[in-house]
Amino acid sequence: MSFSYTFTHAICRRPGAAATKGLRAVDTGTPDTDLFLEHHADYIAALQSTGAHVTELAADEAFPDGCFVEDAALCLPELAVIMRPGAPTRLGEAALMKPVLEGLYANVAEITRGHIEGGDILVTEREILIGSSDRTDAQGVENLREIVTPHGYSIRMVQTPPGVLHFKTDCSLLDARTILATKRLAASGCFEGYDVIHVADGEEACANTIRFNNLVIMPAGFPKTRAILEAAGYDIREVGNSEAAKLDGGMSCLSLRFSPPAA
């Protein structure tokens, strides 16, 4: 069983009316909250279709970006770690996630120094890759290293490309040895030792997909990359992402994916 892409559980949070005020690097329009909710329901249905149990948390209007739950925590088989988001408006999302994870994990640790957001963390079968970014700094990474090293994990700090929100904006794990990545990120050499599949030119916005059990869940509307992934043997499910994309969000951001330790 591969702990890096095989999961029994996921946690999502519904986007609220405040999503219209979510952070974005470039304003490409205000998200339509009804359509966002429709896409969100499709996303949850895709996760559930693999047999996973999905907890859907209620929207919290105090946090316009609260539906991007991935940034608030890191869930590993042995423990959960509450992150410390680098975006000031998102800091409180971590505290909101803590009691939820305490209900599922006996061991919930917390980042207390620097900043780190889950979107910058790619957990593979052999290591944890973390991209430094505007949201994730060396102090936060060192703090996470101290927490997870005793559990046998090794952390490798790499660089999120300039102008890219998160490391995983540009890459995804496809299986134990394969990563989907943009050419600009793969060119940095950070995936040496892995097999890399490049997203098609012009389709960089679909690099943020997720492998979730038997499925690769990708944003709708990237036919060339879909064809590449299908030819490589992956079972693809597309989910509409037009509204989350207006807030720089994608498939990984919308869930925490994990298998809690047996009680």
User: What residues are labeled active site?
Assistant: 166, 253
22 makes contact with ligand CIR (CB under 6 A): yes
Place of tokens 């509450």: 82
User: Which residues in the 177-236 window bind ligand CIR by CB under 6 A?
Assistant: none
**Which window, 22-30, 136-144, 178-186, 225-233, contacts ligand CIR (CB under 6 A)?**
22-30
* Residue type (1 letter), 40: H
248 makes contact with ligand CIR (CB under 6 A): yes
The Cα 91–Cα 83 span in angstroms is 9
Q: How far is the CB of 67 from ligand CIR (least distance, A)?
A: 9
The Cα 87–Cα 85 span in angstroms is 5
Q: How far is the CB of 24 from ligand CIR (least distance, A)?
A: 6
Among 160, 169, 209, 241, binds ligand CIR (CB under 6 A): 169
User: What residues form DSSP beta bridges with 232?
Assistant: none
**Which lies closer to ligand CIR via its Cβ, residue 100 or residue 253?**
253
How many other β-carbons are positioned within 10 Å of the β-carbon of residue 153?
Answer: 16
Among 33, 241, 252, 255, binds ligand CIR (CB under 6 A): 252
- Interface size with ligand CIR, residues (CB under 6 A): 19
- 237, 210 contact by CB (below 8 A): no
**Residue 192, C-beta contacts closer than 8 angstroms, at least 6 positions apart:** none
Q: How far is the CB of 119 from ligand CIR (least distance, A)?
A: 3
Token representation of residue 88? 């000031």
The Cα 118–Cα 122 span in angstroms is 8
87 makes contact with ligand CIR (CB under 6 A): yes
Spatial CA neighbour of 130 closest among 140, 94, 76:
140
Residue number of the CB closest to ligand CIR reads 119
Rule CB under 6 A: which residues touch ligand CIR? 22-24, 65, 68, 70-71, 87, 90, 118-119, 165-166, 169, 247-249, 252-253
